[in-house]
Structure 1
Amino acid sequence: MRKSRALGKLAFGAAVLTLLCQSSFGQDVGSTRKTELLVSAKDSFQRPNVILILADDLGFSDLASYGSEINTPSLSALAAAGVSFSNYHTAASCAPSRAMLLTGVDSHRAGVPNIPEMIPPQQRQHSHYQGVLGRNVVTIASLLQDSGYHTYMAGKWHLGMTPDLLPYSRGFERTVSMADSGADNWEQKPYLPIYDKANWFADGERFDLPDDFYSSRFLIDKTIEFIDGNTGDGQPFFAYVPFQAVHMPVQAPQEFIDRYMGVYDQGWEVLRQGRHTRAMDLGVIPQGSTRVTMSTTEDWDALSQAEKRYQAKRMAVYAAMVEAMDHHIGRLLAYLKTTGQYDNTVFIFTSDNGSEASGSVDPDNALTRFALARQGYTNEYDTLGLKGSFNSLPPSFSSASVSPLAFYKFYSGEGGMRVPLVVAGAGIEKQEGFSNALTYVTDIAPTVLDLTGVAEPGGRYGGRVVEPMIGRTLLPLLRGDVARVHPDSEAIGYELAGNAALFRGDYKIVINRGPLGDNQWHLFNIVTDPGEAQDLAGKMPGLLQDMLSEYQSYVADNGVLPVLPNYNDRRQVAINGLQDRFGRQILLALLSVLVLLPFFIAYRLRYRR
């Protein structure tokens, strides 16, 4: 009762303000960029600040509170003080997740069914397959700004970089944002050759990074700067902090790397087993739940001592990057406590998708070294993770990062879609253990609005028709009033580049394309079997067919387009990158050379004979 009254008091004050705002300015509050509100200091204080922190490519068991050996004291403290979710799902790729997180609308309807770098030309012909945030959706930043909140963002955006698509034009008052899928963490340079530069913006204008840049430190510095700039004016704030950590290139300061040297010398399978056991002991997953071994997992014992040494350091740098992120989150928490703002702030922490599996196990691969050198990178052991070094997580350690789940980023297995979610702070009291209620990324936006007493946009905003939010507020779960917010009968569909899933109650149907997937639908009880080890399709054919029918309805209702049988996401990135950088004619010329080159070589060999 006490926590319900506390949250109710916060929501009531904000709701009154929202109604006053709507009655004074009309139902379409979003028709102006900023609404001047006369808010008393007392009422403003009753509305909580909200900080939404998003990690990038963080695996399900990468936090200490979820079973990791990685030291994450700041996030562990938030978990200990609030509510942790063990059955929260997001898209298996960054841009679709970010679109749903900020709007509460399915990614296909929001214009971001995939990252733009991976959308093939036959899909790009459709207006809702551009990979940038559509004008038919409203961000929670816009809604909160209209209701009198300061709105800040510091971090990765990846939802469009034209002036009308940057966060400064989508409801954020102060911003520093990186518009690409990723970038270097030590300096302003692209991490892939598909970009000619790292595209950073501040308040809508091109921005040059400082010389002492390290991404996690810099993003928290800017967040503190933004908050501090308006402290004392009586208005609450919403801050969105989407880290680059732990997206490749995986990089970290040496002092953090040193803490994990030797920790991973026993290899990925020992790590995967250890995290699985700890997750069961902590109650993250049920006792006795099993896991599968991914086909991409290498035999650790078959590696040479030099190879083991190198691979162990790759994981050490990854762990160091996670801890460095947690360290800088701790700086933000300390600042809020020092300035007296901590007790009136709600914190939401999660990840955009599961861990990414990338990079050859062989560090001496000539093609890899050549490609890195072209980008100004090395992958030498001694400097791994430092400035000028390129590091990523191989599939074997990625499987350990998501332990005990199957698959990883881009795939619809639990390892790609199930990630940590922690909510703590003002009015939210600690709940023992973990909530295993099915929750989804589209639930975050309505939860933020419910916490702040701001109304959902309905069908219109700013004089235009917009998509309604489809997520459900998690506030009843956070209060402890209910066991779940999605009824057993509700179906939640999902698709990304042909990999797809549908959730209903405790069950999930899933299909993953080849070569890693088998292109077949499977049925799992993901509450009792989060590792997706026991396919129930043969035992429950009726349920499978019912859910397949619901998935087809999801496809029709959301305009989901098929991919061609030969679609390959990584190849599409290369093709799109060449076309975007060099133009269609040069791309056709390059492809022609590749096609004709074998015939030319054969002709020359015949001529020489």
Structure 2
Amino acid sequence: MILKGPTTLLTALALLSPATLGAQAAQPKRPNIVILLADDWGFSDVGAFGGEIATPNIDALAAKGVRFSNFHVAGSCSPTRAMLQTGVINHRAGLGNMPETIPPEHLGKPGYETHLNNRVVTIAQQLRAVGYRTYLSGKWHLGHTPNTLPTARGYDHALALAQSGADNFEDKPNLLIYDKTEWTEDGKPAKLPKRFYSSTLIVDKMIGYIDRGKASGKPFLASVNFIANHIPVQARDADIAAYAGRYNAGWTVLRNERRAAAIAKGVMPVGVPAVTMNTSGDWSKLSAQQQRQRAGAMAAYAGMGTAMDREIGRLIAHLKAIGAYDNTIFVFLSDNGAEATDPMNMGAFTRWNANQLYDQSIPQQGRPGSLTAQGAGFASASVSPLRGYKFTASEGGLRVPMIMAWPGNPAIKGGSVAAGFAHVTDMPLTLLMLAGVTPQQGSFSGRRVEPMIGVDLSPMLTGVASSVHSPDKPLGYELSGNAVLFKGDYKLVKNLPPYGDGRWRLYNITTDPGEAHNLSSSEPARFAAMQKDYAAFAKANKVLPMPEGYTAPDQIFENALRTLLIPRLLAMWPVGAALVMATAALIWWRRRRRRLPQGIATP
């Protein structure tokens, strides 16, 4: 059932309104809102979605709320974050691409500012305008200048990381990409403790913000943005030890276990195909040392996830202690699918550089001073039973676990699953509606802004409707040349190399979420019509074609060389001058090579 019309919508909202909680109808108490955003978690990493990683606190939210099993985001972090903050498609919000993956030819073009532009307003700005306290802690990645940091975009207080990731134990960047970290607090450089753990620090800071403003009596928005489990994957020794030996059977076994568990938990249809990605490799063909290394990296990944869940539990316990838990709406989601990239598998230069900058020995994996990554094999298990990873437009890159809970609201059936299509642009509008705030639709504080495009998901929370998106309305998406057109149960998708061959394919992602059966030949009319829909989306949103031979991994490497390595070499004059010339030649050679015909594996 698809909900239509204002009457049924108002009925659903009445069930979910603060008045339902027993507050006076004349002046209902607005709910608090807590957004818990994980980084690079695959669809089945959460226990409630089929994972073996211990996530009891997230699972408890699922038991109190609704799991959305067909929820979609962008293929990488900042475009998702832009849409989550604004309810506007990433191209109109300024994140048509990320700073790390954008080709120089696109930088600064409309929609490609690589930061949240001034044509959009955030959920924080809209909630603050009606009296909310607004706080953010953790990863921002939507701008690093004073006018693009959280406190310039509606947040009262914010501890924010402007980059894609950082070390989890000390104030140190990912040295393969950045020269220094960009942590700020309230718009100024932050002073972090000498030693810390990122998930603990992020929750500590949020608890402090909430308590600081508690006496005001105003409701709050808490945007909690973890850097778990982004590279570098790191966890405390005890958390890593808890998974010792758990992954010795390899990723194929784990992928099959996850598939069965996801079906049993009701978040995947019975009989969903078990697809295998050709990037994951054959576990049995690895040497004993290689298996030990990969299993150890996955143990660190699982430990990092459990540590994040523990901090979520600590935040929830605090909200219970101060009497705020029942009237708080919780949202848990990941910003994209699992990360398959491994610096130790990206070519001789990157591997050499990682070994120079970090301790990459097997016993050190996941510990301070290491640069550990999950890798493609176990990432294929994290997204099981889906296909594709972070950066791709396949379901494994875009479909993520999402949970909404409002513990004190009896209208929500705890433990239920909403299987209808939903999208990250729906989230800000839904939260505003649940808070009793009229969402902006093209104007805010007297100025014209990009209107929100989302649909209210609240009827799916109550079970009034199984879906709220019209089967006839298309929704487009593009990032780094990987593109999608959603329409009803169907998805038109193409992935550029190295993730695909650049050809369009058609899938029914309701019955075939693993994208195993290409329908482009059997449904030619639908295939053609959806390509026209995508072309209209691309034109309306000024989507730029990618330069010939573009690949996201190559662009990350080239951008890092240009912005990080070359300045370092120039500082070594005159020896550095020769190295700069060599580096420029390497960039030129890589660009020339990527324009040459190469064999491409079909996804």
TM-score, L = length of structure 2: 0.90
User: Which amino acid counterpart does residue 372 of structure 1 have in structure 2?
Assistant: A
Distance change (3 Å), C-alpha of 1:11 and 1:118: farther
Task: Tell me how far 1:127 sits from its aligned partner.
Answer: 3.2
8 Å Cα contact 1:15-1:454 kept in structure 2: no
Tell me what 1:424 maps to: 405
Alignment of 1:391 with 2:377, yes or no, is no
Q: Structure 1 residues 546, 131: closer, same or farther in 2, change over 3 A?
A: same
- Does the 8 A contact of 1:311 with 1:361 survive in 2? no
Which of 354, 370, 395 aligns to 2:352? It is 370
**Corresponding residue of 1:407:** 388
Give the Cα–Cα distance (whole angstroms) in 1 for the partners of residues 586 and 442 of structure 2: 56
Query: What is the distance in 1 between the residues matched to 2:78 and 2:474?
Result: 23
Matching residue's letter, 1:413: S
Percent of pairs with identical residues: 46
Q: Deviations over 1:358-378 (max 9, x none)?
A: 216779x97555312443x11
> What do you get for the CA RMSD once the two structures are aligned?
2.5
Secondary structure (helix, strand or coil) at the match of 1:534 reads coil
> 1:72 maps to which residue?
55
Distance 1:296 1:119 in 2: 24
What SS does the aligned partner of 2:224 have?
strand
Secondary structure at 2:213 match in 1: coil
Change in Cα spacing, 1:594 to 1:81, as seen in structure 2 (3 Å) is closer
Residue 279 of structure 2 contacts residue 377 of structure 2 at CA under 8 Å; is this kept in 1? yes
Q: Aligned ranges for residues 274-293 of structure 1 at < 5 Å? A: 274-293=257-276
Between Structure 1 and Structure 2, how many residues are aligned?
Answer: 570
C-alpha displacement at 1:270, in angstroms? Answer: 0.2
Matches within 5 A, 1:269-348: 269-348=252-331
> In 2, distance between residues paired with 1:101 and 1:14?
29
The residue aligned with 1:53 is 36
Q: Please state how far the C-alpha of 1:588 moved relative to its aligned partner.
A: 10
Distance 1:315 1:488, change over 3 A: same
Which of 569, 572, 582 in structure 2 is aligned with 1:593?
A: 582
Selected match of 2:17 from 8, 11, 14? 8
Instruction: Measure, in 2, the Cα distance between the counterparts of 1:595 and 1:243.
Output: 36
Contact 2:65 2:416 in 1 (8 A): no
Of 210, 230, 239, which residue of structure 2 is paired with 1:227?
A: 210
- Distance in 2 (CA, whole Å) between partners of 1:291 and 1:344 is 41
Conserved 8 A contact 2:172-2:181? yes
* 3-state SS of 2:475 partner: strand
Residue in 1 that maps onto 2:596: none
CA distance in structure 2 between the partners assigned to 1:243 and 1:595 by the alignment: 36
What code does the residue aligned with 1:78 have?
Answer: L
Q: Describe how 1:544-555 pairs up with structure 2 within 5 A.
A: 544-555=527-538
Out of 162, 179, 201, the position equivalent to 1:218 is 201
Deviations 1:209-241 (A, max 9, x none): 102311001100111100011113210000000
Residue-by-residue CA offset, 1:186-220 (whole Å, 9 max, x unaligned): 11111133321111000110012102311001100
2:582 alignment partner AA: V
* Pairwise CA distance, 1:8: 2.8
Query: Does structure 1 retain, via aligned residues, the 8 Å contact 2:36–2:225?
Result: yes
Deviation for aligned residue 1:576: 2.5
Aligned partner (choices 46, 54, 70) of residue 63 of structure 1: 46
Contact 2:561 2:583 in 1 (8 A): no
1:137–1:245 distance in 2 versus 1, CA, 3 Å: same
Q: Distance in 2 between matches of 1:15 and 1:562?
A: 55
In structure 2, C-alpha distance between the alignment counterparts of 1:355 and 1:48, rounded to whole Å = 32
Aligned with residue 532 of structure 1, among 488, 511, 515: 515
The worse-fitting range, judged by mean Cα deviation, of 452-461 and 553-562 is 452-461
Tell me by how many angstroms 1:353 deviates.
0.2
**Once the 2 structures are TM-superposed, how far is the Cα of residue 431 of structure 1 from its aligned partner?**
4.6
The 2-side partners of 1:169 and 1:524 are apart by 41
**Secondary structure in 2 aligned to 1:53?**
strand
CA 1:589 to 1:49, structure 2 compared with 1: closer, same or farther past 3 Å?
A: farther
Residues 477-527 of structure 1, C-alpha deviations (whole Å, 9 max, x = no match): 112221111011011100011100111111101001123302111111101
1:89 maps to 72
Partner of 2:245: 262
Assess, with a 3 A threshold, how the Cα gap between structure 1 residues 232 and 521 changes in structure 2: closer, same or farther.
Answer: same
Q: Shift of residue 461 of structure 1?
A: 2.2
Say which SS state the counterpart of residue 51 (structure 1) adopts.
strand
- What is the distance in 2 between the residues matched to 1:10 and 1:597? 64
Write the letter of the residue equivalent to 1:117: E
> CA separation in 2, counterparts of 1:114 and 1:431?
37
Structure 2 distance, partners of 1:140, 1:360, is 36
CA distance in 2, matches of 1:584, 1:381: 29
Contact 1:492 1:502 in 2 (8 A): yes
Verify the 8 A CA contact 1:118 1:576 in the aligned structure 2. yes
SS, match of residue 509 in structure 1:
strand
Return 5+ residue gaps in structure 1 as ranges: 17-41, 599-609
C-alpha displacement of 1:573: 2.2
